């Protein structure tokens, strides 16, 4: 079951009617910031994990 263009436009129109344009812009901005922070933390976490793995392998030898 896929969502088509018509359905997406209908959902967008309903969202604008319910929340208003300015509130939707604020919600989009907040959502974008959250996604950006999440990606940054995931990237930083993988770097820390690699560093920890290298340190633990080096110290056990």
For the record, the structure tokens of 18 come out as 């319910």
pLDDT given at position 60: 47
pLDDT given at position 25: 87
pTM over 0.75: no
Alpha-carbon gap, residue 38 to 49, rounded angstroms: 16
pLDDT given at position 58: 64
Distances (CA, A) of 32 to 2, 14, 26, 29, 36: 24, 21, 10, 5, 6
Per-residue pLDDT tens, the chain, 61 aa: give them.
Answer: 788 999 999 998 998 898 888 888 898 899 999 999 999 998 887 777 777 776 777 654 4
pLDDT given at position 61: 46
Angle at 31 between CA 36 and CA 27, to 5 degrees: 150
């Amino acid at each position: 079951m896929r969502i088509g263009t018509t359905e997406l436009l209908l959902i967008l129109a309903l969202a604008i009617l319910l929340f208003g344009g300015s509130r939707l812009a604020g919600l989009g901005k907040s959502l974008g910031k959250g996604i950006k922070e999440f990606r940054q933390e995931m990237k930083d976490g993988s770097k820390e994990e690699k560093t920890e793995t290298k340190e633990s392998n080096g110290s056990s030898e």
